[in-house]
Amino acid sequence: MAQNKEDRGSGRLVHLRIRRQDGRDQPDTRRWEEFKVPYLPQMNVNSALEQIRKSPVTADGKTVAPVVWEAACLEEVCGSCTMIINGRVQQACSALVDRLAPKGEVITIEPMSKFPLERDLIVDRSRMFESLKRVRAWIDIDGTHELGAGPRESQEHQEERYPLSRCMTCGCCLEACPQFNDSSPFIGAAALNQVRLFNLHPSGALHKTARLESVMGEGGVADCGKAQNCVEVCPKEIPLTTSLPDMMRATTKYALASIFRK
Ligand code: SF4
Ligand code: SF4
Ligand code: FES
């Protein structure tokens, strides 16, 4: 759709319907509020929320507390602005208003539902970071500085690992996963993908078995229902459809080998 500088002065408004809640323990304050903000060319949902922050007045003229949300990189790298926009989990900084509401339709914005709500559009994604700790999603380098350069990594491995490394811990895959919820310990696709990523690295492979063991227990890879919703929503197009079966094969192989080792 052609947008130009005439839009800026055209009086065109962007209509937003936002789910709000004042605090983590205040479900009684849960409500919808509507806002109309001036359209700007190339506007995304993040910039629309910034307009509300400048002038937090609802569509029916009531002054309210500014809507709060998280954002840092503004270029779909940090994952912090993830929310549900028009029913689909995605990043506010890359959700273009022209694509969401080409004819001025209402844009509906809600916080992710699978993580504890902090306030308005902010959720607590700590569970994801705890899962990264559980699977040891790093390469230990302490004490290795005197040992010189690490092992060389083949071009083939680099090409396999790069797409896996693009994860920004945004939470989209967990929001969409039927197996991930309050009452399930499942760690989800993002952490399982990290096991594959770090086990492919020549130095990371030194802790390969610890990582495999970390996803063989409760909440591990066996809890994946293989519905593949995660792949559909991953904004970084990480090949989770290959990472999950790869982890299943690796853990099965390791478990069988353990039997023979006894
Ligand atoms: S394949 Fe399905 S069950 Fe497994 S992590 Fe992805 S969405 Fe969840
Ligand atoms: S795997 Fe994709 S959807 Fe899941 S946290 Fe990483 S970037 Fe987000
Ligand atoms: S602000 Fe970082 S992904 Fe949107």
pLDDT in tens, 160-206: 999 999 999 999 999 999 999 999 999 999 999 999 999 999 889 98
Between the CA of 232 and the centroid of ligand 2 the distance, in Å, is 11
- Nearby residues of 94 by Cβ (< 8 Å), 6 or more positions away: 44, 75, 76, 235
Output the pLDDT for position 3: 43
Mutation probe of ligand 2 site: the residue of 73, 175, 238 with most atoms within 8 A of C-beta: 238
What's residue 141's pLDDT? 78
pLDDT in tens, 37-69: 999 999 999 999 999 999 999 999 999 999 999
Q: Identify the pLDDT of residue 1.
A: 40
Which of 237, 222, 119 has its CA nearest to residue 172? Answer: 237
Q: Does residue 252 register a pLDDT over 80?
A: yes
| Nearest residue to 7 via CA among 42, 34, 46 | 42
Given a cut of 70, is residue 99 above it in pLDDT? yes
Name the residue with the closest Cα to ligand 2, atom 8.
Answer: 170
CA–CA distances in Å: residue 92 to residues 18, 132, 165, 235: 13, 24, 22, 12
The predicted pLDDT at position 5 comes to 45
What are the structure tokens assigned to 27, written together?
């479900």
In angstroms, how far is the first alpha carbon of the chain from the final one?
Answer: 66
* Mean per-residue pLDDT, 224-249: 94
Whole-prediction pTM: 0.92
The mean pLDDT value for 100-109 works out to 97
Residue 112 exposure: Cα atoms within 13 Å on the Cβ side: 29
Q: Which tokens go with 46?
A: 């993040």
Nearest-CA residue for atom 3 of ligand 3: 76
Phi/psi region, residue 79 (left: phi>0; alpha: psi -120 to 50; beta: rest), is left
